[in-house]
Amino acid sequence: MSENLIAAVNINQDSCSKCAICHSVCPFDAINRDKETGKVEIDLQKCQVCGICYSACPAMAIKIIYYDYDSLLKRVKEMHEKSKSDTLVLMCRGSSPSSGEVTELLKENGIKVDNYIHLRLPCAGRVPAEFTFKVLNTGIKRVVSIQCEDNFCRFKEGTKISTRRQLLSQKLFDYIGLGKEAFTIIKYARQAVYDTTKCVGCDKCVFICPYEAIEAETFATPKIDLDKCMGCGACALVCPHEAIEVKGFEFESVCKLYMDAAKKLKAQNVSPLIMVFACQWSEFPALDQPNSPFLRKGTFVTEVPCFKALDPVHVVNALQNGFDGVMAVVCPPEDCKLEKGKDTAERNVAVLEKALKSKGLLQRFELFNVHPRRVSDFSEHFDEFYKKIAEMKQTKPEHLEVKVSA
C-alpha cells in the first residue's frame, strides 16, 4: 500500500479531547490509545472504514473521506427537492436490497410508500441521532433504516450499536412529538435461498459451506440454518442444479443483467466494452460517486457480495458474449469481510485461469486487489486496463498469467 495515498480516516489531534470513546467502540481494535498521554491514533492496517468512530466522536475530531454527514445531508436535500418524497431509506451496504425488494420489504413491515429516496452506507452503526434529526428537519417525515441482522453485520458490532442509538433516539422523538413512525428499523440479511425441488441431495453444499450453516439430512435434502448463513455464496457455486443461490445474485439474473447490457452497448457501437465484477466492500468511491470511472461509456459494473460468490462462469460468459475485457475488483484476502472460506476464492481463481487460458482469453481479464482504507489509485489502474483493452480491439490474446495487483 503506497504511503503517498490519502488516508480515508484520520484524527485531528488538535481537536481531540482524548476521551477515548473512539477507542472503546472500534470493533476492529484499530484505534490505539497511549496509556500515559491518552493520545489516540488509527492503525490503518486494521481499519475497515466502517465509520463508527467518526459517528461516535463528541469533539468531531475524526475526519472521514467517504460519506461525511455534510455531504450526505446535502444529497438528501437535493433528492428530496427533486423527487418530493418524504421517506428516506438508509441501507447497510451488506444488506442493501435491490429497488424492487426495498418496496416489498417496506410493505412487509407495514410501510406503504409510492416513492422514496435512499442512501447506502457501509454500516448502519455509523449513523448518529444528530444526523437523523437534521434529515427530519429537511422536510423528510420518515426515516427507515434497513440494517443487517446482528450476527450478519460485516463490521461485527455495527448493527448492535445502531440499535442502542435508535432506542435512545426514539425517546427523544416521542418527547418532541415526532412519534414512532419518524424512525423505523428493519432487519434484513442477504442469505441463501433454497429450492428443495431442484435439489438432488449431492451434499456438495454441506461440505463447501465455511460457516457450517448447511446440515446433511438422512434420506432428505440438506437443511439450511439461517442463523449461521452469512450469504457468502460458496454453496451456490458448487450446486449443480442451481437449487441454492444467494438472494439478489441468482445465476440467471446476473447473466441476464450483463448480457442485456452488452447487447444494448453494442447496438450503440460503443467500443471497447468493459465488464467489472466488484466486491461491494472493495472500493467505496468507485461504486458510489457520480464521477466514478465505472460510469464511463462502454463500462458496465455489477456488484457481488464477496469474491467467493463470483462464479468463474460469469467471467468467461461475459467475454464470449460481447465484452472485450473483464476486471474483478476485490478485497485483499486479509481484509475480506467474510474471513472464512478463503480457499474457495483461491480455487475459483485457479479454475478461472485454466478456463481462460484454454479459450485464449486470459489477457482480457485482470484481478485487482484494493481496499477503501486509503483513497486509492484505482482510477488510474482502471484507466490502464481500459487503454490496454482498447488497443487490443479484436486481436487474439496471448496466453498470459492472471495479473493480480494491489
CATH of domain 69-188: 3.40.50
Q: Is 290 exposed, middle or buried (0-12, 13-18, 19+ CB in 10 A)?
A: exposed
Longest Cα separation, the chain? 69
Residues of the chain with pLDDT > 90, as a percent, come to: 32
Q: Which residues in the chain are classed under CATH 3.40.50? A: 69-188, 251-405
Which pLDDT tens digit goes with each residue over 2-55? 445 578 899 999 999 999 999 999 999 999 999 999 999 999 889 999 999 999
Find, among 185, 389, 183, the residue nearest to 275 by Cα. Answer: 389
The beta-strand segments (E) located in 93-148 are 117-121, 142-148
* Residue 378 scores a pLDDT above 60: yes
CATH topology of domain 6-63: Alpha-Beta Plaits (3.30.70)
Cell reading at 132: 437523523
Q: Span 188-195, mean pLDDT?
A: 87
Residue 157: CB atoms within 10 A of its CB come to 18
State the helix-helix crossing angle for 312-320 and 342-358, rounded to 10 degrees.
Answer: 30
Which pLDDT tens digit goes with each residue over 146-159? 888 888 888 888 88
Find, among 155, 42, 29, 139, the residue nearest to 92 by Cα. Answer: 155
CATH topology of domain 198-246: Alpha-Beta Plaits (3.30.70)
Q: Are 316 and 260 contacting, i.e. CB atoms less than 8 angstroms apart?
A: no
* Residue 342 scores a pLDDT above 50: yes
pTM: 0.83
CA 128, CA 140: separation in Å to the nearest integer? 17
* Residue 230 scores a pLDDT above 70: yes
The beta-strand segments (E) located in 274-359 are 274-279, 299-304, 325-330
Q: What is the pLDDT of residue 289?
A: 62
CATH architecture of 251-405: 3-Layer(aba) Sandwich (3.40)
Q: Which residues in the chain are classed under CATH 3.30.70.20? A: 6-63, 198-246
